[in-house]
Amino acid sequence: MKNIVVLTLSLLLLLGCSSNNREVASESTGMAGSYMDKAAPPALSEPVNDNTSPSTPIERKLIVMGNVRFRTGDLKKTNEEVLKLVEKYKGYIASQNESNSEYSIDQTIEVRIPSKDFTAFLKDIDKQSAHFDHKNINTQDVTEEYIDVEARIKTKKELEARYLEILKKANSVKEMMEVEAQLNQVRAEIESIEGRLKYLQNQTSFSTLTINFYQLTTKFHGFGYRFGEEVKQGWNGFIGFLLMLVRLWPFLFIVLPIVVLVRKWWRKRKLGKVGS
């Protein structure tokens, strides 16, 4: 037991010296719980790689997202060309939707393109437009977070390895259970941080572009078509009025005659009272 306590104190001392601005709280109780305290996670602004010299260039990690909207003369052909470009640059389609409005048919495709080819892909998309409505490109620099996440994973894995060493030297079931509880917590944290790292890797490796293109229909240009539509709507309104009258037939043929008869009877009765 004494050897374990000594080993634990040595472990905590090494953890305190291996990372800047990290503190390891230790409350020695003489039991295995004395080496269960966890190292504090590094701050986002904390330098991660102590071996990196100021002159070493840092690869920027950028998340690029954008959207474009343009008019095309041939919706089907443009759709085929966009799909060919996605295949050419080894990207993939995240979603695709088509919608119809009164004056146009719209196609919306969300694509993921390798970040290194995003600029070239965007230039090729520009060539497909007959008229550009708008183009928006947004860039988010996540370099600091990316480096920090990598550092946190490294630190947690070092802590995991040291807990495994302590676990080998545990002398009782209680000590083993205490170490394993902390070990499971560290492993859960590692999985969570690795999940974030995978997300950042995906977002920085592939840029996202939402492409919306549309084709104007003849409804927009043809006066004759619009005139015909108005005549059609007027006729439909007339038919609707007739149908409404049909729905009111009980009132017209039953209720209305009764109302008329009651009014006549009332008038005759009123006149009779006046004559008497």
105 CB burial (10 A radius; 0-12, 13-18, 19+): middle
Query: Does the pLDDT at position 137 exceed 60?
Result: yes
- With cut-offs at 50, 70 and 90, classify the pLDDT of residue 249: low
Backbone φ and ψ of 24, nearest 5°: -120, 115
Q: What does the pLDDT read at residue 218?
A: 64
Q: What is the pLDDT of residues 74-110, one digit of tens each?
A: 999 999 999 999 999 999 999 999 998 878 899 999 9
Q: What is the pLDDT of residues 153-172, one digit of tens each?
A: 999 999 999 999 999 888 88
Q: What is the mean pLDDT of the chain?
A: 78
- What distance, in Å, lies between the first and last C-alpha atoms of the chain? 126
pTM equals 0.56
Closest by CA to 221, choosing from 102, 46, 126, is: 102
**Under 8 Å between Cβ of 172 and 29:** no
Q: What does the pLDDT read at residue 8?
A: 52
Closest by CA to 12, choosing from 163, 185, 150, 184, is: 163
Closest by CA to 206, choosing from 109, 62, 95, is: 62
Task: Identify the structural domains of the chain with CATH numbers, from first to last.
Answer: 60-221 (3.30.70.260), 225-275 (no CATH)
CA distances, 94 to each of 72, 73, 80, 140, 209 (Å): 22, 25, 16, 20, 10
The two beta strands, 92-100 and 62-71, are unpaired
Q: What is the pLDDT of residues 182-238, one digit of tens each?
A: 999 999 999 999 999 999 999 999 999 999 999 988 655 556 656 666 777 888 888
Q: What is the pLDDT of residues 20-73, one digit of tens each?
A: 434 333 333 333 344 444 333 333 333 344 444 455 677 899 999 999 999 998
